[in-house]
Amino acid sequence: MINIAKPLMGAEEKQAVLDVLDSGMIACGSIVSEFEKEFAAYLGTEHCIATTSGTTALEVGLRALGIGKGDTVLTTPFSFIASTNSIIYNGATPVFAEIDPDTFLIDPGSIEKALEEHPETKALLIVHLFGLTCDMDAIMEIAGKHKLLLIEDCAQAHGAAWKGRKAGTFGDVGCFSFYPTKNMTTSEGGAVVTHNAETARRARLLINHGMEIRYHHDEIGYNYRMTNICGAIGRCQLKKLEGFNEARREHAFYMNSHIDNPLIETPVEPDNARHVFHQYTVKVALGHRDAFIKHLETNGVGYGIFYPLSIPEQKCYAEMGFETEWPVTDTVKQQVVSLPVHPGLTDEEVAEVVRVVNSFRG
């Protein structure tokens, strides 16, 4: 079986965890601070606040920007649910704009239309889905023109870039996940990054029960602190991230140039973008996906369907009255299949994925 994902843990990670255990300082401490400095330096941003997950990073990122009850946040209907949940956790209202059918990313033209309908919008929460950056020229122009706060969900985009500038460094905050299947991991974990000192101060306060002076709680916060054990894994993984991303890109471009099945559309890397292929997501001709995934299963190729439903149509939001018809998203969600692209694949395995995809006859 060729797995869809495989976290790569080496001797370095194991030793680093043992060192933390031996130190006795296993909760949040100096190892996390080092990881934060190194991750900020890697991205080219001023501040990094490590958290317990990508979800908590998003929740805190929005709240640190002052987004709360009565605010409207525009986002994508095609993502993992955490991006929209973070808006709802803060008591704000999500509204949606369509995606581009080729990149799967929020469509700037559709954002402009949605803003006409929702002129009260305060913030834009974009998702660099599957490892590909949104069109940041268009997004920055829209955010500037409409004076919107900008949140980048970079849970799937560690090291992705637009014109050489890394995802997470454009917005008022960038939010990362270090879940095991991501381009780098800390086991569970996340981070908020920002250029703004006050936003960073507020995020740091919120992840530590609103406490700057010991047992003086200035506001109601949370315990969303990363542990030193996670930080130690993260420091090792960060050193390997560029190598991991290069391997993902090599596998993806090999598949792009060798898959020649007319029923399968391979992913694109637009000009100006550096795709880090968190997922290698193909589109299967409409009506053929069930047969395709059966074919993958029969031939031992792992896959994922990210995502089978749009966010607004999720059952948990049934009472919220969201617009549930998104024609582009609703077509794409019936076509997408993500294939193995992770850095642990051998050349033979990548060639086998291509062989299996090309042998599908519908």
Ligand X SMILES: Cc1ncc(COP(=O)(O)O)c(C=O)c1O
Q: Which residues bind ligand X (CB under 6 A)?
A: 53-55, 79-80, 82-83, 127, 153, 155-156, 177, 179, 190
Task: Give me the least distance between CB of 176 and ligand X, in Å please.
Answer: 8
Can you tell me the distance from the alpha carbon of 8 to that of 115, in angstroms, rounded to the nearest whole number? 42
CB of 51 to ligand X, least distance (A): 9
- Residue closer to ligand X (CB basis): 82 or 264: 82
Instruction: Give the shortest CB-64-to-ligand X separation in angstroms.
Output: 16
What whole-number distance in Å separates Cα of residue 113 and Cα of residue 328? 15
Nearest to ligand X of 90, 261 (CB atom): 90
Of 179 and 280, which has the nearer Cβ to ligand X?
179
Residue with smaller CB distance to ligand X, 45 or 177: 177
In whole angstroms, how close is the CB of 86 to ligand X at the nearest point?
8
Residue nearest to ligand X as judged by C-beta position? 54
CA distance 302 to 300: 6
113-116 contacts, C-beta under 8 A, 24 or more apart: 114/74, 115/74, 115/142, 115/146
In the complex, the smallest distance separating the C-beta of residue 95 from ligand X, rounded to whole angstroms, is: 18
Nearer to ligand X, 153 or 172 (CB): 153
CB of 188 to ligand X, least distance (A): 6
Token pair in block for residue 52: 């317990």
Q: Pick between residue 158 and residue 283 the one whose CB is nearest to ligand X.
A: 158
